[in-house]
């Protein structure tokens, strides 16, 4: 406790430096650009700016990196809502309802809701990081191979609710996503499968590359073919935006649930913000009174997805700072940044570098406030994008897709992979196969395979002891229960729908 | 129609304009002094890993010695294969170099089929850091010493669960060689990196972990993990009390899995440029600020020049060849 | 219309079933301990696609309507022209990047496709392309220090 309060006091003082506040602002602007461009992810944004922070004091450098992390996680929603192309994998669920809202002429409202939801989710998760980090970190360690495997299965059960319109096609799409994700090396034996000699596929289909192809290319085709339903003009973002943002507080329970899901998923090392937003979306859909609206422009869908993925930010930093175990790829990069600034992550961090760590955590609060006005300001101009003539917007989106898929690993091979997946995405759209289950499968596949193989290896190949282990671990039981509940509710809905 | 013709004309003019520039550009670049622009270092791993942190730390201090910045470019994929392939095919103008990691590079080459790079495609500039493999257990583990582990594994063949980076990694190789020489059999469970492997150990999913020293240091200093044995001939400062393999077991175990991190350039880079780079890296390795920070992060800096590094590659390749069959046995 | 969509669905499910079956065969060609999960997935996908095929067959419309579909087939080119063109243009662009270089081919691609898909004044198209490249250059190259693909020219 004493460490906490002295840290808050000293960290707060460090944060009051005007230069630090300016860097947070600059980081936010940069993060929003990075986040909203498909292909530039939060991980890249932070990694690319680590060298820029060399010349700064650790407190300033970390505040800058933190601001990028917060704002880029939020900004992917802008392109998801306006263009039907998710800016980062975590915004895949946002477009399910965000884009239909745009089509209804409510793009301003959708952006206001996603901004407010992101800010609330982010803010609450930083609270958890500040006050609950040590116990939450212990919880993170309770996750072993079998829990991860069950978590992946739970994630897969969400496919059912993502594909209500056509269950069989949804399931095929999900399975294909899982399949594409496990292409490459077997996580335990190292045997290489289905790569056809392409080394870029050794660790599975690269997620961001796939996402760009899956959404950008079909979208370009549909806007250039003029096949898209007319998008109604939206009243500009800005007028009455405050009132629209306040709308999220009509959904207090939803906000809270999405935040908790985001924090928990964030804490678990290896699970990322995309899983959080899928799970929160599914949860919101099942618990909502208007679940029929989901997928047709439900504000609740946008709120759930965006709140959860920003709540991951605080969660993922819990094990990173307290144990030195990063919760996801972005926090791994942030940890690297910490170390280069001479800070040692782990239990001693909070004592040895008390002031810097707390100034970093406090700066995240500021970042979560700052991206609201900055985001709305930028979005106000982005809304005009949908008024751009198709013959100009289309080629630009292709240009960005090519650049984005190249920039991830500076590889032209991945540009070709992006195009192949683009063809797949076009065909899926053409034949009415939902694409979101495929993305979910891509996120979960290698986790499901690897963790099952590990869990089996840990019990020396005995299926019986694996099942016994699952039935005696409280966390495993809870996840199994949630999975069954989710499946049961899905089946019940299908039965009811058929009468 | 007319409009389209006009566009075509404009485009052609543009191409011609750009082409004339391109023709002039190379002749300007071939000036004698090197470097005149930032040097890019390909790191074939994701940001945040051991190689990445080392090179970023070097990049922080190298600018005065090199005269230009060193830019770290992550090109992860296939355990390093993608990045090293890219390095082997990069332009040999001295502005692209890459991080090397032995014995991982050699393992990839010798265990996989159709690897597009060869070990002779590189000129090894220097080696920078040694990162030996250790065995660690939880602080409250039932195993007090490395001997306890061996006794347990002998009494319960295949029952000892060992977490480690893998598969086909330097960590697994070290563990397999140690197990072979100690005549024990254990169950090596591969995790996607030393980080996840240590997390599994911290969560008590496994009995022990084999890991690079640098990844375990924060946990050892934090008091959560306890090192049992160091697979290296010399003591390491960060864990001065931990016995070496020779001390713990009384037999010599080659430090085959020890990660040796350095930098290399494509093979056709000019010798003067290699020398310039070697000198700049050497200057960093001797700079007190760099050393101080490296030490606090638990990185053991040991500088080896170009010739020594090249010899080391040959030497390590021979060792790997000798022991690689262990991966098949299981 | 019903007949048309019937044909489309049927064709789709036949192709999907075929692909799944091929993947299954491939999955069983890898060593057992490394391919349990792919085997499980490919078999599941094959079973699901067979269900899809069965459903498509069951929804066969009346003969009378089937004749209508024959007429519609001729419009294949008109309905698929756009996607094919876009893929072709993009592929040319990507090849051009590797051969000519990033900046030149991007200008060629952007201006070319803008002119192709719509009617704009040249200065608008060049202006937008230049702006695009300026943003890419400022953000990716200057600020983030990324290297653009290396071609023969720029």
Tokens for B78, please give them: 């296939």
As a whole number, mean pLDDT of residues C65-81 equals: 59
Tokens for A37, please give them: 């461009």
Report which listed range, A162-171, A223-232, A468-477, is most confident. A468-477
Whole-Å CA distances, A454 to A172, B159, B199, B216, B283: 26, 14, 14, 21, 44
CATH code assigned at B205 = 3.40.190.10
Percent of the residues in chain A that have a pLDDT greater than 70, as a whole number: 97
CA angle C89, A427, A401 (to 5 degrees): 45
Contacts of A327 by beta carbon, 8 Å cutoff, 6+ apart: A140, A266, A267, A268, A269, A270, A271, A312, A315, A316, A317, A318, A319, A320
DSSP readout, B30-66? Answer: T-SSS-SSPEEEEESS-TTSHHHHHHHHHHHHHHHHH
Residue C2 is predicted with a pLDDT of: 59
Start-end of H helices in chain C: 2-27, 36-58, 63-73, 76-99, 102-117, 122-136
Least confident of B21-35, B132-146, B287-301: B21-35
Residue C117 is predicted with a pLDDT of: 87
pLDDT per residue over A152-205, tens digit each? 999 888 887 787 778 889 999 999 999 999 998 888 888 889 988 888 888 889
Q: Identify whether the C-beta of residue A234 lies closer than 8 Å to the C-beta of residue A383.
A: yes
Handedness of CA B65, B66, B69, B70 (dihedral sign): negative
Total structural domains within chain A: 1
- Measured CA to CA, the distance from residue A58 to residue A72 in angstroms comes to 21
Q: Given B249, B277, B308, which residue is the final one in a domain?
A: B249
Residue A292 is predicted with a pLDDT of: 85
Q: Is there a domain that residue B304 lies in?
A: yes
pLDDT per residue over B153-169, tens digit each? 999 999 999 999 988 89
Q: Which member of A168, A191, A410 has the closest CB to residue C30?
A: A191
**Burial tier of A8 (Cβ tally within 10 Å: 0-12, 13-18, 19+):** middle
Q: Identify whether the C-beta of residue B211 lies closer than 8 Å to the C-beta of residue B125.
A: no
For B200, name the nearest residue in chain A, comparing CA atoms only.
A144
Identify from A336, A341, A449, A457 which residue to disrupt to test chain B contact, counting B C-beta atoms within 10 A and taking the largest count.
A336
Residue A175 is predicted with a pLDDT of: 94
- Asked whether residue B123 falls in the same domain as residue B268, the answer is yes
What residues form DSSP beta bridges with B129?
B261, B301
Tell me which residue of B149, B244, B291, B134 sits closest to B197, measured CA to CA.
Answer: B134
Chain center to CA of B252 = 24
Q: Identify whether the C-beta of residue B297 lies closer than 8 Å to the C-beta of residue B118.
A: no
- Asked whether residue B240 falls in the same domain as residue B264, the answer is no
For residue B303, is pLDDT > 80?
yes
Q: Identify whether the C-beta of residue A90 lies closer than 8 Å to the C-beta of residue A38.
A: no
Q: Which residues of A touch B159 (CB under 8 A)?
A: 460
Q: Decide if B72 and A51 are in contact by the 8 Å CB cutoff.
A: yes
Residue B48 is predicted with a pLDDT of: 76
Q: What is the DSSP letter of C147?
A: P
Tokens for B17, please give them: 């304009």
Contacts of C142 by beta carbon, 8 Å cutoff, 6+ apart: none
Q: Given B249, B276, B297, which residue is the final one in a domain?
A: B249
- Measured CA to CA, the distance from residue B56 to residue B71 in angstroms comes to 8
For residue B256, is pLDDT > 70?
yes
Confidence of residue B29 (pLDDT cuts 50, 70, 90): very low
Alpha-carbon gap: B85 to the closest alpha carbon of chain A (Å): 9
Q: Is there a domain that residue B236 lies in?
A: yes
Q: A186 and chain C: CB distance < 8 Å anywhere?
A: yes
Residue B117 is predicted with a pLDDT of: 92
- Asked whether residue B121 falls in the same domain as residue B142, the answer is no
The residue segments making up the domain with residue B222 are: 133-249
Q: B3 and chain C: CB distance < 8 Å anywhere?
A: yes
Choice between A328 and B88, residue whose per-residue pLDDT is larger:
B88
- Measured CA to CA, the distance from residue C99 to residue C134 in angstroms comes to 21
As a whole number, mean pLDDT of residues B81-86 equals: 90
Alpha-carbon gap: A396 to the closest alpha carbon of chain C (Å): 7
Q: Decide if B205 and A342 are in contact by the 8 Å CB cutoff.
A: no
Q: Do β-strands B122-131 and B96-102 pair in parallel, antiparallel, or remain unpaired?
A: unpaired
Choice between A347 and A129, residue whose per-residue pLDDT is larger:
A129
Residue C153 is predicted with a pLDDT of: 55
Query: How many C-beta neighbours within 10 Å does residue B178 have?
Result: 26
Q: Identify whether the C-beta of residue A347 lies closer than 8 Å to the C-beta of residue B223.
A: yes
Percent of the residues in chain A that have a pLDDT greater than 90, as a whole number: 50
Percent of the residues in chain B that have a pLDDT greater than 90, as a whole number: 62
- Asked whether residue B238 falls in the same domain as residue B278, the answer is no
Contacts of A221 by beta carbon, 8 Å cutoff, 6+ apart: A426, C82, C83, C86
For residue C95, is pLDDT > 90?
yes
The residue segments making up the domain with residue A62 are: 2-498
Mean pLDDT computed over every residue of chain B:
87
Return the residue matching tokens 């332009």: B91
pLDDT per residue over C15-67, tens digit each? 999 999 999 999 999 988 888 899 999 999 999 999 999 988 888 776 545 44
Chain center to CA of A101 = 20
Choice between A165 and B213, residue whose per-residue pLDDT is larger:
B213
Q: Decide if A178 and C41 are in contact by the 8 Å CB cutoff.
A: yes
Peptide bond into B160 cis (omega under 30): no
Confidence of residue C5 (pLDDT cuts 50, 70, 90): confident
Residue B15 is predicted with a pLDDT of: 47
- Asked whether residue B138 falls in the same domain as residue B44, the answer is no
Mean pLDDT computed over every residue of chain A:
88
For residue B13, is pLDDT > 60?
no
Total structural domains within chain B: 2
Local structure of B270: helix, strand or coil? coil
- Asked whether residue B140 falls in the same domain as residue B242, the answer is yes
Confidence of residue C140 (pLDDT cuts 50, 70, 90): confident
Residue B144 is predicted with a pLDDT of: 94
Identify from C90, C124, C127, C146 which residue to disrupt to test chain A contact, counting A C-beta atoms within 10 A and taking the largest count.
C90
Please give the order of strands across the beta sheet that includes B39-43: B70-74, B39-43, B96-102, B259-266, B122-131, B300-304
- Measured CA to CA, the distance from residue A241 to residue C44 in angstroms comes to 48
Alpha-carbon gap: B74 to the closest alpha carbon of chain C (Å): 10
CA angle B165, A476, A318 (to 5 degrees): 60
- Asked whether residue B126 falls in the same domain as residue B149, the answer is no
Least confident of A250-254, B48-52, B153-157, C2-6: C2-6
Residue C151 is predicted with a pLDDT of: 63
Residue B309 is predicted with a pLDDT of: 94
CATH code assigned at B113 = 3.40.190.150
Choice between A411 and A171, residue whose per-residue pLDDT is larger:
A171
For residue C74, is pLDDT > 70?
no
Q: Identify whether the C-beta of residue B155 lies closer than 8 Å to the C-beta of residue B148.
A: no
Q: What is the DSSP letter of C143?
A: I
Q: Identify whether the C-beta of residue A329 lies closer than 8 Å to the C-beta of residue A90.
A: no
- Measured CA to CA, the distance from residue A212 to residue A398 in angstroms comes to 10
């Amino acid at each position: 406790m004493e460490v906490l309060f002295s840290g808050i006091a000293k960290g707060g003082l460090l944060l009051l430096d005007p230069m630090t506040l300016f860097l947070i602002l600059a980081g936010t602007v940069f993060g929003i650009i990075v986040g909203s461009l498909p292909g530039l992810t939060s991980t890249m944004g932070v990694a690319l700016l680590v060298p820029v922070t060399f010349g700064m004091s650790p407190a300033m450098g970390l505040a800058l990196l933190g601001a990028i992390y917060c704002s880029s996680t939020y900004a992917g929603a802008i392109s998801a809502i306006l263009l039907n192309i998710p800016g980062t994998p975590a915004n895949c669920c946002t477009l399910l309802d965000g884009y239909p809202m745009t089509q209804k002429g409510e793009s301003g409202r959708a952006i206001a809701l996603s901004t407010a939801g992101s800010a609330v989710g982010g803010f609450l998760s930083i609270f958890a990081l500040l006050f609950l980090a040590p116990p939450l970190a212990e919880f993170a360690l309770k996750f072993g191979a079998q829990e991860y495997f069950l978590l992946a299965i739970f994630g897969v059960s969400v496919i059912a609710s993502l594909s209500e319109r056509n269950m069989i096609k949804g399931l095929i799409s999900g399975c294909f996503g899982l399949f594409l994700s496990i292409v490459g090396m077997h996580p335990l034996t190292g045997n290489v499968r289905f790569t056809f000699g392409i080394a870029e596929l050794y660790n599975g289909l690269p997620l961001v590359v796939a996402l760009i192809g899956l959404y950008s290319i079909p979208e370009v085709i549909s806007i250039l073919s003029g096949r898209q339903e007319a998008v109604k003009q939206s009243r500009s973002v800005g007028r009455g935006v405050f009132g629209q943002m306040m709308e999220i507080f009509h959904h207090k329970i939803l906000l809270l649930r999405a935040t908790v899901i985001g924090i928990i998923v964030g804490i678990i090392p290896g699970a990322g913000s995309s899983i959080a937003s899928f799970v929160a979306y599914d949860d919101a859909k099942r618990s909502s009174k208007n679940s029929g609206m989901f997928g047709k422009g439900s504000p609740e869908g946008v709120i759930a997805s965006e709140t959860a993925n920003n709540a991951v930010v605080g969660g993922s930093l819990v094990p990173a700072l307290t144990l030195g175990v990063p919760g996801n790829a972005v926090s791994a990069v942030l940890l690297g940044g910490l170390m280069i600034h001479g800070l040692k992550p782990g239990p001693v961090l909070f004592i040895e570098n008390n002031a810097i760590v707390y100034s970093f955590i406090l700066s995240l609060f500021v970042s979560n406030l700052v991206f609201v006005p900055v985001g709305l300001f930028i979005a106000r101009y982005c809304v005009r994008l949908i008024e751009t003539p198709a013959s100009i917007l289309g080629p630009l989106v292709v240009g960005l897709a090519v650049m984005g898929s190249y920039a991830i690993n500076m590889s032209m091979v991945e540009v070709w992979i992006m195009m192949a997946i683009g063809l797949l995405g076009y065909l899926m759209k053409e034949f009415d196969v939902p694409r979101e289950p495929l993305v979910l499968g891509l996120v979960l596949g290698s986790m499901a395979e690897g963790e099952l193989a590990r869990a089996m290896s840990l019990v020396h190949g005995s299926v019986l002891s694996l099942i016994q282990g699952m039935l005696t671990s409280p966390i495993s039981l809870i996840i199994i229960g949630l999975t069954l509940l989710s499946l049961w509710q899905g089946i019940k809905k299908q039965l009811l729908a058929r009468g | 129609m007319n409009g389209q013709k006009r566009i075509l004309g404009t485009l052609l003019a543009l191409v011609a304009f750009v082409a004339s520039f391109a023709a002039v550009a190379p002749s300007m670049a071939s000036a004698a002094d090197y470097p005149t622009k930032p040097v890019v270092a390909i790191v074939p791993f994701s940001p945040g890993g051991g190689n990445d942190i080392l090179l970023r730390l070097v990049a922080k201090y190298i600018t005065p010695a090199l005269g230009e910045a060193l830019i770290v470019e992550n090109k992860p994929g296939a355990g390093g294969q993608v990045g090293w392939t890219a390095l082997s095919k990069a332009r040999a103008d001295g502005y692209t170099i890459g991080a090397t990691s032995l014995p991982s590079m050699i393992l990839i080459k010798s265990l996989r089929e159709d690897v597009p790079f060869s070990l002779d495609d590189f000129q090894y500039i220097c080696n920078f850091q040694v990162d030996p493999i250790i065995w660690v257990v939880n602080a409250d583990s039932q195993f007090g010493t490395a001997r306890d582990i061996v006794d347990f594994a002998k009494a319960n063949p295949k029952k000892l669960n060992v977490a480690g980076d893998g598969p086909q990694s330097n960590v697994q190789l070290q563990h397999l060689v140690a197990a072979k020489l100690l005549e024990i059999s254990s169950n090596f469970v591969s995790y996607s990196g030393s980080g996840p492997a240590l997390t599994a150990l911290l969560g008590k999913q496994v009995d022990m972990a084999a890991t690079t020293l640098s990844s375990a240091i924060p946990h050892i200093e934090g008091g959560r993990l306890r090192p049992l044995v160091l697979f290296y001939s010399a003591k390491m400062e960060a864990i001065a009390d931990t016995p070496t393999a020779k001390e713990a077991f009384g037999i010599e175990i080659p430090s085959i899995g020890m990660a040796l991190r350095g930098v290399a350039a494509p093979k056709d880079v000019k010798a003067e440029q290699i020398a310039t780079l070697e000198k700049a890296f050497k200057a960093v390795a001797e700079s007190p600020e760099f050393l101080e920070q490296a030490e606090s992060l638990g990185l053991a800096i040991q500088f080896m020049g170009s010739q020594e590094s090249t010899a080391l590659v040959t030497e390590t390749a021979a060792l790997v060849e000798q022991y690689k069959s262990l991966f098949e046995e299981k | 219309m019903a007949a048309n969509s019937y044909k489309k669905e049927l064709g789709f499910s036949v192709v999907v079933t075929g692909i799944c079956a091929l993947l299954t065969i491939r999955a069983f060609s890898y060593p057992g301990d490394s391919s349990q999960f792919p085997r499980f997935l490919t078999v599941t996908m094959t079973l699901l696609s067979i269900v899809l095929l069965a459903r498509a067959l069951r929804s066969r419309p009346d003969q009378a309507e089937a004749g209508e579909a024959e007429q519609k087939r001729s419009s294949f080119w008109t309905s698929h022209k756009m996607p094919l063109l876009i893929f072709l243009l993009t592929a040319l662009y990507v090849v051009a990047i590797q051969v000519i270089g990033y900046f030149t081919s991007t200008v060629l691609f952007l201006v070319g496709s803008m002119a192709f898909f719509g009617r704009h004044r040249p200065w608008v198209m060049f202006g937008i392309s230049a702006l695009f490249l300026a943003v890419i250059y400022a953000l990716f190259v200057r600020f983030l220090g990324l290297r653009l693909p290396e071609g023969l020219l720029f």
